[in-house]
A = this chain, B = another copy of it.
Amino acid sequence: MIFCTFSIYSIIFELMNDMPCSLCIYKSAAEQKLNADEISILENNHAKVRFKAGDIIVKQDCLSANVAYIKSGLVKVHVRGSIRERIVKITKAPTYLCLPSFFGDKTNHFSVTALEETHVCFFDVNVFKDFIYSNGDFAFQIILEMSKNELLNFENCINNSQKQNIGRIADAILFFADKIYNSDTFILPISRQELADLAGITRESASRILTDFHNEKIIDLQNRQLTILNKQLLLEISEKG
């Protein structure tokens, strides 16, 4: 994570931050459907912000009139429940956030926190709304994105409610390996507590299961440095729940 801050990517982001939207290489599928005039409207109604790991990007229950587009980085979407904190999902760039809160009502129904250096564009919601009205291509791309999200949410619901703890932790590890890092070796971007919040279990249970996996040579784990040793078995555990 420290390396990242000084990497070539960081330099590119610097350049991008000073660049007009029309030349930005981090355009979403929806934005690619906009014409030059629309892009220039966008230009005048957005703010580019950089967040460090741990920074709060969106705060639950706050009033807000923006749509957030995650250009680069990794974030957790979490909700403060009546009993404990819950991480709803972890998602990497590029993606839109706050779309549901937005069109539903004017308050954020969840918080979003950066897990690593993250670059975000905030757009005025009314500009967004205008584009939906005027540009069918744009609207369709947004609907596509929301559809994919809904299907993912469905899967999550099923997984969380039917699997037992060991299966959920296996899920989480596989999620980071396959969906986030595309590698069986990575540095866990979250603490044990957060892993527990993600899996919906207690910190102690999460810890225990990780050491079990380590002892049974399913994973190698030094602090947050994780390597999957027996992926086949991990997949079976995830399957069987």
Q: Given B100, B101, B136, B160, which contacts A161 in the complex, CB threshold below 8 Å?
A: B160
Give the interface segment out of A39-47, A143-151, A179-187: A143-151
**A residues 88-147 with Cβ under 8 Å of B?**
88, 99-104, 109-110, 129, 132-134, 136-137, 139-140, 142-144, 146-147
Contact with B along A75-93 (1 / 0, CB 8 A): 0000101111010100000
Docked complex Cα distance between A88 and B143 (Å): 21
CB of A23 within 8 Å of the partner chain: no
Q: Given B83, B137, B144, which contacts A162 in the complex, CB threshold below 8 Å?
A: B83
| Interface magnitude class on chain A | 35 or more
Residues on B with beta carbons closer than 8 Å to the beta carbon of A160:
157, 160-161
Q: Which residue of B lies closest to A131 (CB)?
A: B136
Given known contacts A146-B146, A147-B104, A150-B153, A81 and B158 CB-to-CB distance under 8 angstroms: yes
- Say whether A157 contacts B156, CB under 8 Å: yes
This chain: copies in complex: 2
| A interface with B by C-beta (< 8 Å) | 79, 81-84, 86, 88, 99-104, 109-110, 129, 132-134, 136-137, 139-140, 142-144, 146-151, 153-154, 156-158, 160-163, 200, 239-241
Measured CB to CB, the closest approach of chain B to A200, in angstroms, equals 4
Q: Which 4 A-B pairs have the closest CB atoms?
A: A133-B136, A103-B147, A100-B150, A139-B139
